[in-house]
Amino acid sequence: MSDTISSAHQLSLSLYSASRLLIQQFQIRLNELNLTYPQYLVMSVLWEQDGLLVNKIGQRLHLDSGTLTPLLKKLETMNYVKRNRSESDERTVVIQLTYPGKSLQAKVLALLTPLEEAYSEIQNPELSTLNHSLKSLLGRIESLKTRN
């Protein structure tokens, strides 16, 4: 049993350290646009699929509404998104990109290209395998969460 705890501990330490360092690299570049990394994540989800319900964005990012709502309000203040309440159910809020929000994608991509190039030393098959493994791990951790 101690091996399992030790493995889980080592995995959590490695994931935490790697993600923290990678996020710092992103944040350095995003600072030029006065965008935080969590705001960037929300925008990334919307660039993939515009017009999502708040709860769908939360599901994709594994964020609860208490964390997501302030992010969305700030992005709306920055004129990147618009929050629209459903006429049939006012609890339902759809998030739509504004024109400046759509235009921001090209600016972000331009800023992140040097970072992508720096990480291109890691072979694509390695990244693909790592990404697949991490998504699988995330799914397993989520299933453990629902058991507790």
Query: Which CATH number characterizes residue 118's domain?
Result: 1.10.10.10
Range of the domain at 85: 2-147
Strand order in the sheet with 93-97: 52-53, 93-97, 81-85
Cα–Cα dist 134/11, whole Å: 11
Give pTM, 2 decimals. 0.84
More confident site: 73 or 120:
73
For 1-40, what is each residue's pLDDT tens digit?
A: 455 567 888 888 888 998 999 899 999 999 999 999 999 9
Q: Mind listing the pLDDT tens digit for each residue in 63-84?
A: 998 999 999 999 999 999 999 9
Work out how many domains the chain is built from and give that number: 1
For residues 58 and 18, what is the distance between their CA atoms, to the nearest angstrom? 23
